[in-house]
Amino acid sequence: MTRPSAAPWLIVGTVPDEGFGLVLGRCELDAAGLAVGGASVPVRRGTPALLAAACEGCAALGTAPPKALLAGDAGRGAGSAEAYRLLAEQLPALAPRGLTFHYLFPDLAGHDRVLLAALALPARPLLVADAGFMYAAKMSGQAVEYDLFTPDAGELAFLADELAPHPFYTRGFLARGFSGGPEQSAPELARRAWETGGAARHLLVKGGRDLVVRRGAVLAEVDGPDTPAMEAIGGTGDTLTGMVTALLMDGRPVPEACAIAAKANRLLGRLAQPTPATAIAGLIPRVAEALRLALAG
């Protein structure tokens, strides 16, 4: 039985199709795929993969699915600008208990309007950011207002560089890491990111070993099972953020949600047995089983 939620959770992102428009509504998974507000959404990678994983996770947990705000944007920024505008206007009426931001074109003015609107709500929502929105949050100087970022090792180096205005400009000594590469130096980079104001309160660092970090200190590491083919499949980081979102919607504390989701995403690879040619849509049907296995320990 699905438990209704007192307040919605909202996932915000883009679809790489300029003709998609702007859609706000409840997410649904059915035999035809993913739908948001009645609009069909192809599941390839990016925000649609995150949404599909969140919906599957909610089904496994018995939680009502999230709402989503999706904009058609192939990288020019016009669709993202509309999403920023609508979100800032609609947040008081939506009053979400949590927001997961995925890729929106990094726009500091748009980001700041949305963040201020979220912080002005009577009940402060949990704030999760990945991809382009995480970049904007860091560049705005307000990363510490967020509850969770989900960077990979390269993105973590950018968060740790207090001078870089964009990941492309991350300074070499940080991009290479302190001791043998950014993944080996992830604990040091996470600490530096927090101390310089570039990190959220929690980080889930994706890599050969996934790290759960709070205020710059590593709380947990997850390094198995390991399925090498998962590294070649675009969208596996999106399924991870989708499962974290589902667990947060179920009321799990942020560190616990991160550790369970990291384990489940690895179990997803073991269950699906993908090849490098496998599309992310082929993994989504195994998300619920992977999550149940991770919860069972």
Q: What was the pLDDT predicted at 173?
A: 72
Q: Which domains does the chain have, with CATH numbers?
A: 9-296 (3.40.1190.20)
User: Mean pLDDT across the chain, nearest whole number?
Assistant: 93
pLDDT exceeds 90 at position 124: yes
Q: What was the pLDDT predicted at 132?
A: 87
R_g (Cα) of the chain, nearest Å: 18
Q: What percent of the chain has pLDDT over 90?
A: 84
pLDDT exceeds 90 at position 6: no
Kindly report, residue by residue over 45-103, the tens digit of the pLDDT.
899 999 999 999 999 999 999 999 999 999 999 999 999 999 999 999 999 999 999 99
pLDDT exceeds 90 at position 246: yes
- Alpha-carbon distance values, 139 to 52, 131, 166, 245, 289 (Å): 29, 13, 8, 23, 37
Q: What was the pLDDT predicted at 49?
A: 96
Q: What was the pLDDT predicted at 127?
A: 98
Residue for token digits 């964009």? 166
Mean local confidence (pLDDT), 136-146: 97
pLDDT exceeds 80 at position 146: yes
Q: What was the pLDDT predicted at 159?
A: 96
pLDDT exceeds 80 at position 193: yes
pLDDT exceeds 70 at position 197: yes
Kindly report, residue by residue over 166-185, the tens digit of the pLDDT.
888 888 777 776 555 666 78
Give me the long-range contacts of 115-119 (CB less than 8 A, separation at least 24).
Answer: 115/140, 115/142, 115/145, 117/87, 117/88, 117/91, 117/92, 118/91, 119/145
pLDDT exceeds 80 at position 5: no
Q: What was the pLDDT predicted at 176?
A: 74
pLDDT exceeds 70 at position 133: yes
pLDDT exceeds 60 at position 224: yes
